[in-house]
Amino acid sequence: MKRSIYGIGLLLCSLFMIFGVNEANAMPALEEKQELVQPSGEAFQASLSGSENLSWWTTGDEAVIKMGADHYWYYAQIVGQSLQVTNAKYGIDDKPSDAAELEEVRLLQPKEGMKQKEIPNPEEQVDLLSAGKQENTLVLLVEYTDAKIAYSDAEWRNRFFGMEGSTLNHYYEEVSKGKLGFKGATDASGSNDGIVKVTLPKAHPRPETANNSDSTYSQIVKEALKASNAKVNYAQFDQNKDGSLSSEELHIVTIVAGGEASYGDTGKVVWGHMSSLYESEAPLLDGVKVGSYQTGGSYTMFGEKHGGHMATVGIIAHEMGHDLGLPDLYDTDGSSQGVGIHSLMASGSWTTHNGEDQGTYPTHLDPWSKMVLGFVRPIDVQNNGAYEVTSFKAEQPSVLKLKTTDPSEYFLIENRQFTGFDIGLADEVAAPGVAIWHIDEQQFKNRQNNNNEAHKAVDIEEANESRLGYPELDQQQVFRLYYDHYFSGNGYDRFNSSTAPTSKVYSGASSGVSVTVLDPSSDAMTVSVKVPQGEDQQPPLWSKNAELTATMIKNDRLTLNWSEAIDDSGVASYVVYKNGSVLKEVDGSMRKLTVQGLATDKAYDFKVEAVDKKGYATSNGPKLNVSTSANTVERIEGLNRFETAANVSARTYDQAETVVIARGLDFPDALSGAPLAYQLKAPILLSKTNELPTETKKEIARLKAKKAIILGGENAISPTTEKAIKALGLEVERISGENRYDTSAKIAKRMGGDPEKAIIAYGLNFPDALAIAPYAAQQGFPILLVNKDTIPSATKLALKNIEETIVIGGESVITQKVYSNLPSPNRIAGDNRFATAAKVKTAFYPGAKTAYLATGFGFADALAGSVLAAKEGAPLLLVKSDELPPETVEAIKNVTDFNLLGGPSAINEKVEQRLYQK
């Protein structure tokens, strides 16, 4: 017989066979691995492939097998365009030479089915259905002498006509927004609920093992209809009195006792489908023809059980979709998945959630199917601009229709959220959002439907193609992927001719369509669209999460940053407002502006508006109230350490008679120099060993210095360099000793006076000596150096008249042994160099509002800055190049004015910004 078999969409796999593109409408199998067992006990894994027209099982080693009449699993062989069993049992006998190979099976052209129903022309179906339409539905429960219906009439009545939970009526009530439902056809079976059980006095016919399954399925329907006639008056449903029943007048559902072959059941099974009978085969019941294709009649059929449970609503809703006139939207030739899980008419009929049986939560129909059934009326977009797309939860869910430059092609835009039956998407899709569909109705007229993955009738544009480089649903192999196919303002947000996926029409020409999703995923999302010949009549658009933020907030300046506004004609400019007045208009390509000349610790109101190329301006741009920092941060820097020291000198003194010169590339001789330099009102400048840097020369000249004091011997500052200093007209004095300890003692002696206290620091590293240098300089205390375990003789001699000592650093650098042999010692120490510097600040500068900061891993900037810090009565604290250590953070709680010594390579902008935000 000729018939139309519409399949249930599901997760298609690489093992689909190749269907004839003009006729095949068979239901694909649910491809999941199952354990099969031979009657003799051999067990193995295999998965079902194909459809009712041609099916087989594929094993782990890619053997193609079928069950024989004796219930053994045999290697299959190709006979014509079909598969038949060989004589070799899988897992028992050797693989025969004529066994079918998987790749050969995929190329088979199975038997033709009858033509599918004519697909409605959506241009003629734009009118919405009236709310509350109820269509008569008769459910025939068909059992046999050896296969009984397992579930009660009440259970089936609820599965079809119940209004709560996973039922047919609940599903269509939701997807149609109450426009369509199904009611039990009037019958005389007792309950009058549209559920009629019939028992056929024969064994289950097992059509999937029959030589002519078409004839067997036809026989099942005919016998069931005739057996039901005693309980059903079919004439009452002939509304137009033409002597036959169309599916619109009566939906006939046959549920056959036993299993569902498409689910993977074997034995007493049928393969779910929707079909019809020839006029000559359709039975005449109560004077009307029932189930005739020629007069619009049809039936649906499926097995009562899926494995060990009752058939789920997915298969029922999918087949009812066919009975309403919808085509399959999976790829029936098996080369791709069509639209996959995104529609009931593809693999969305098998989706579920939280471990429920597959098909418990089938996904919604795609917007094209909803449109042709009259469930939605798309908004025909004529002008460019912003449009709101709402999910099915809205009173009237909105779908946008964007026409292209090709009359047969257009795009539909909908909003998919993981609620209602679309909760079935949650286990399959990464995030909800805007779905964009590409429609070419010419493919329906060509009978291609979705068989050509490169040119589908209904295609979903997969947002993550831009990341993957290919569309997932167009691949033959599928492994239950977690798809990311929807667009949103905080994810994939652009769709146009230059994006992937592209908005071009199938010929490769521009469609004239572009879409930008402005909002994050929600039940109402705004999109900006552009269509061919569309007029721009709106200002630019700001997304719901558009922001105006401030970075690099300082006491007198900050940088504004704002989100991009969207406009199809292009954003020409952004206008920035400060306290209600225009501050500046910048080019549309810019999205940041540094604002200067602000007052310290003051609040400002900023706003940004966008202007398009036609002069339309927004009035709802992002706003920001922000305060400048109460702290000031200044940086003293140069291109190198020599220039930094010179710039510190310039900040310290307008003029100086004396300069102190230390080696800039090593610290030993310089550690004790700050108190002497401060005493002489002299800056510390740096030099190379064998060369006097240009930066130092220029600063000496600017200071109009007359004398230079060199710290260290000729190995530190060579005679050549000394000569260069003298050449500048300066008198030169050198302070040096046999070693760093002797040098520090001689510097102390050069200071003169009769100090009662001295500073004791570790001589083999610089941090502690430099941290105390400003205080020592202010107080006129010399800095003397010691070893970890010993007091050098030069230091002992220098301590002869000292009554008290301040010891800087813990026992890891100056042991208790040394400490005990010092005059009246008092130790100031932290767990590390940063903590020790912080302790110095707490001890000697508790109320300081100003602080100097230098890197804790280099001596040059801190050495040069120590005199300036002393002059301003400020502590010197240490930091890391990209971080404020916690000890430093604690020490600067009450500090408001900061001076950074060195450039960004020493202390980067991250630390500077942290000080403003303290």
Q: What is the DSSP letter of 261?
A: G
Domain final residue, candidates 627, 652, 674: 627
Rounded CA gap, 502 and 522, in Å?
24
pLDDT of residue 191: 74
pLDDT of residue 448: 77
Q: What tens digit of pLDDT does each residue of 3-54 get?
A: 232 333 322 232 222 222 233 344 566 767 889 999 999 999 998 877 677 7
Q: What tens digit of pLDDT does each residue of 104-116 get?
A: 887 776 555 444 5
Percentage of the chain exceeding pLDDT 70: 93
pLDDT of residue 28: 61
Regarding whether 642 and 613 lie in a shared domain, the answer is: no
Helix (H) / strand (E) element for 222: namely helix 213-228
Q: Where is pLDDT greater, at 93 or 570?
A: 93
Range with the poorest average pLDDT among 476-480, 600-604, 860-864: 476-480
Regarding whether 809 and 665 lie in a shared domain, the answer is: yes
pLDDT of residue 11: 27
Domain final residue, candidates 530, 558, 579: 530
**Containing structural domain, residue 559:** 548-627
pLDDT of residue 192: 80
pLDDT of residue 121: 62
Residues 6+ apart with CB under 8 A from 616: 536, 538, 539, 540, 567
Within-domain flag for 473: yes
Within-domain flag for 432: yes
Helix (H) / strand (E) element for 648: namely helix 641-652
pLDDT of residue 114: 45
Regarding whether 613 and 469 lie in a shared domain, the answer is: no
Regarding whether 677 and 622 lie in a shared domain, the answer is: no
Helix (H) / strand (E) element for 916: namely helix 909-916
Within-domain flag for 23: no
pLDDT of residue 107: 77
- 730 with 708: CB under 8 angstroms? yes
Within-domain flag for 69: no
- 605 with 624: CB under 8 angstroms? yes
| Residue pointed to by tokens 């059992």 | 143
Alpha-helical regions (H) of 727-879 = 740-751, 767-779, 793-798, 816-820, 833-844, 860-871
| Number of domains, the chain | 4
pLDDT of residue 51: 67
Kindly indicate the confidence band of residue 211, based on its pLDDT and cuts at 50, 70 and 90: low
Residues 6+ apart with CB under 8 A from 103: none
Arithmetic mean of pLDDT over the chain: 91
Within-domain flag for 373: no
CATH number, position 618: 2.60.40.10
Residue 366 has phi, psi (to 5 degrees) of: -70, 160
Within-domain flag for 350: no
Q: What tens digit of pLDDT does each residue of 810-826 get?
A: 999 999 999 999 999 99
Q: What is the largest CA-CA distance in the chain?
A: 133
Range with the poorest average pLDDT among 223-237, 464-478, 717-731: 464-478
Range with the poorest average pLDDT among 249-253, 449-453, 482-486, 634-638: 449-453
Regarding whether 652 and 594 lie in a shared domain, the answer is: no
Regarding whether 717 and 799 lie in a shared domain, the answer is: yes
Within-domain flag for 92: no
Mean pLDDT, to the nearest integer, of 888-907?
Answer: 96
Regarding whether 589 and 469 lie in a shared domain, the answer is: no
Regarding whether 620 and 758 lie in a shared domain, the answer is: no
Mean pLDDT, to the nearest integer, of 318-326?
Answer: 93
User: What's the per-residue H, E or C state across 325-372?
Assistant: CCCCCCCCCCCCCCCHHHCCCCHHHHCCCCCCCCCCCCCCCCHHHHHH
pLDDT of residue 109: 65
Alpha-helical regions (H) of 52-140 = 102-106
pLDDT at 637 > cutoff 50: yes
Q: Cis link prior to 501 (omega < 30° from 0)?
A: yes
Kindly indicate the confidence band of residue 213, based on its pLDDT and cuts at 50, 70 and 90: confident
Mean pLDDT, to the nearest integer, of 51-71?
Answer: 87
Within-domain flag for 223: yes
- 735 with 714: CB under 8 angstroms? no
Domain final residue, candidates 603, 627, 651: 627
Mean pLDDT, to the nearest integer, of 731-742?
Answer: 96
Rounded CA gap, 784 and 745, in Å?
6
pLDDT at 574 > cutoff 70: yes
pLDDT of residue 18: 26
DSSP string, 263-314: GT--SSEE--EEE-B-TTTS-EETTEEESBGGGT--EEEEEEEETTEEPPHH
Regarding whether 597 and 666 lie in a shared domain, the answer is: no
Kindly indicate the confidence band of residue 480, based on its pLDDT and cuts at 50, 70 and 90: low
Kindly indicate the confidence band of residue 126, based on its pLDDT and cuts at 50, 70 and 90: low
Regarding whether 502 and 417 lie in a shared domain, the answer is: yes
pLDDT of residue 129: 73
Mean pLDDT, to the nearest integer, of 375-388?
Answer: 93
Mean pLDDT, to the nearest integer, of 370-374?
Answer: 94
Strand-strand pairing, 623-627 and 603-612: antiparallel
Q: What tens digit of pLDDT does each residue of 242-299 get?
A: 999 999 999 999 999 999 998 888 899 998 999 999 998 999 999 999 999 989 999 9
Q: What tens digit of pLDDT does each residue of 666-723 get?
A: 887 888 999 999 999 999 999 999 999 999 999 999 999 999 999 999 999 999 999 9
Three-class SS of residue 614? coil
Regarding whether 554 and 522 lie in a shared domain, the answer is: no
Distances (CA, A) of 482 to 426, 427, 502: 9, 8, 22
Mean pLDDT, to the nearest integer, of 73-89?
Answer: 93
pTM of the model: 0.70
pLDDT of residue 462: 97
Regarding whether 592 and 652 lie in a shared domain, the answer is: no
